[in-house]
């Protein structure tokens, strides 16, 4: 990848919709992903194969995944918490999956009912199957800049968990500020520390914008060398097991900033804005993207 190219991992259909009060029907989710597929995005996280009792918003994962139009050259990863989720995802046709754990024990217990060590043990067979079946596997480390239960999270814990996931075979590790409390220098220092153990080209950043710091944090992490950024169209999102966490940074705002500083994403901002505006109408709530607000104001 050229150093001025950034890959956006669009997490709106998954992270964006998993915490929404308005339950969108499968057809609308499919339409969302199909629209996103036309924008130039190369990676669109489509849904989660998790327990429907834990995340009822994504109980339609199988139908959504089967029916989306798979555009050649675009990856459609899905979240899986365990082997059961992996099998369901594969049966639906997924060829990219993501496992997820955290740098804090309390959050992990609340989110996936396991200790960090137990979660890594759970992922072992998933990684083995993925390897033998040629499935790409990404890893998430949540609470990388703070935990809703524990408060501060030592950087050493983030480094240890990220390294474990990488050593187990994840091709990319996404470092999540799950509750959006990070600030730029702290974000950069965390990324720097992880990059001592995991190559920078295998790292991504994932910011929620609870405190309005996400774009500044992304800028600091770009300066440090990261070139993969997670974001959600229209700024939807949040984790049901992270109280007080608001949406992901809006993809439109990230793309506007990246293009403004001379970086390339391959994304058509107008199409992305149109998709964000359409989604906010479907959800019947104002968009959280400043760019979409500015461009669609009457």
Per the residue annotation, which of 147, 170, 221, 239 is the catalytic one?
A: 239
Angle of helix 184-195 versus helix 214-224 axis, rounded to 10: 40
Q: What x/- string results for residues 224 through 263 when contact with ligand HMG is judged by CB under 6 A?
A: ---------------x-x----------------------
Interface residue with ligand HMG, options 108, 142, 280, 292 (CB under 6 A): 142
Choose the contact partner of 43 out of ligand HMG, Mg ion, none; CB within 5 to 8 A by kind. none
Residue of the chain from 17, 26, 36, 49 that contacts ligand HMG (CB under 6 A): 49
Count of residues near Mg ion by CB under 5 A = 1
Q: How far is the CB of 273 from ligand HMG (least distance, A)?
A: 23
221 is an active site residue: no
Nearer to ligand HMG, 81 or 182 (CB): 81
| By the rule CB under 6 A, 51 interacts with ligand HMG | yes
Nearer to ligand HMG, 176 or 182 (CB): 176
Pick the piece of the chain touching Mg ion (CB under 5 A) from 13-21, 75-83, 94-102, 279-287. Answer: 13-21
Nearest residue to the partner ligand HMG, using Cβ = 176
- What HEC string does the chain produce? CCCCECEEEECHHHHHCCCCCCCCCHHHHHHHHHHHCCCCCCEECCEECCCCCCCHHHCCHHHHHHHCCCCCCCECCEECCCHHHHHHHHHCCCCEEEEEEECCHHHHHHHHCCCHHHHHHHHHHHHHHHHHHCCEEEEEEECCCCECCCECCCHHHHHHHHHHHHHHCCCEEEEEECCCCCCHHHHHHHHHHHHCCCCHHHEEEEEECCCCCHHHHHHHHHHHCCCEEEEEHHHCCCCCCCCCCCCECEHHHHHHHHHHCCCECCCCHHHHHHHHHHHHHHHCCCCCCHHHHHHHCC
CB-nearer residue toward ligand HMG: 36 or 173: 173
> What residues form DSSP beta bridges with 140?
100, 174
15 binds Mg ion (CB under 5 A): yes
The residue (of 33 and 277) whose beta carbon lies closer to ligand HMG is 33
- Taking CB under 6 A as the rule, does residue 10 contact ligand HMG? no
Shortest Cβ 86–ligand HMG spacing (Å):
8
The neighbouring-strand residues paired with 229 are 8, 205
Among 37, 101, 104, 178, binds ligand HMG (CB under 6 A): 178
Q: State in angstroms the smallest separation of the CB of 246 from ligand HMG.
A: 11
293/276 Cα distance (integer angstroms): 10
Query: Which residues contact ligand HMG by CB under 6 A?
Result: 15, 18, 48-51, 54-55, 79, 81-82, 84-85, 88, 100, 111-113, 140, 142, 176, 178, 206, 208, 239, 241
């Amino acid at each position: 990848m050229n150093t001025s190219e950034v890959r956006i991992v669009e997490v709106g259909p998954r992270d964006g919709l998993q915490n929404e009060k308005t339950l969108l029907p499968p057809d609308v989710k499919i339409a969302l992903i199909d629209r996103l597929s036309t924008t130039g995005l190369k990676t669109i996280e489509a849904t989660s194969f998790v327990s429907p009792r834990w995340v009822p918003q994504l109980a339609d994962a199988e139908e959504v995944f089967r029916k989306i139009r798979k555009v050649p050259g675009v990856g459609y990863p899905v979240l899986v918490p365990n082997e059961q989720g992996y099998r369901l995802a594969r049966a639906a046709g997924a060829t990219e999956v993501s496992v997820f754990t955290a740098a804090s024990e309390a959050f992990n217990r609340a989110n996936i009912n396991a200790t960090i060590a137990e979660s890594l043990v759970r992922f072992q067979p998933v990684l083995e199957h993925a390897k033998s079946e040629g499935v790409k596997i990404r890893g998430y480390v949540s609470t990388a800049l703070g935990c809703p239960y524990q408060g501060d999270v030592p950087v050493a814990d983030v480094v240890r968990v990220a390294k474990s996931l990488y050593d187990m075979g994840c091709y990319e590790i996404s470092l999540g500020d799950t509750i959006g409390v990070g600030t730029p220098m702290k974000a950069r220092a965390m990324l720097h520390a992880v990059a001592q153990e995991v190559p920078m080209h295998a790292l991504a950043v994932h910011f929620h914008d609870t405190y309005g710091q996400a774009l500044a944090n992304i800028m600091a992490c770009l300066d440090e060398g990261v070139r993969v950024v997670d974001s959600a169209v229209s700024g939807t999102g949040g984790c049901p097991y992270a109280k007080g966490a608001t949406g992901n940074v809006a993809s439109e705002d990230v793309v506007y900033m990246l293009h403004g500083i001379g970086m390339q994403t391959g994304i058509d901002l107008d199409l992305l804005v149109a998709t964000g505006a359409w989604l906010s109408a479907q959800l019947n709530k104002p968009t959280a993207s400043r760019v979409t607000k500015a461009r669609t104001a009457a």
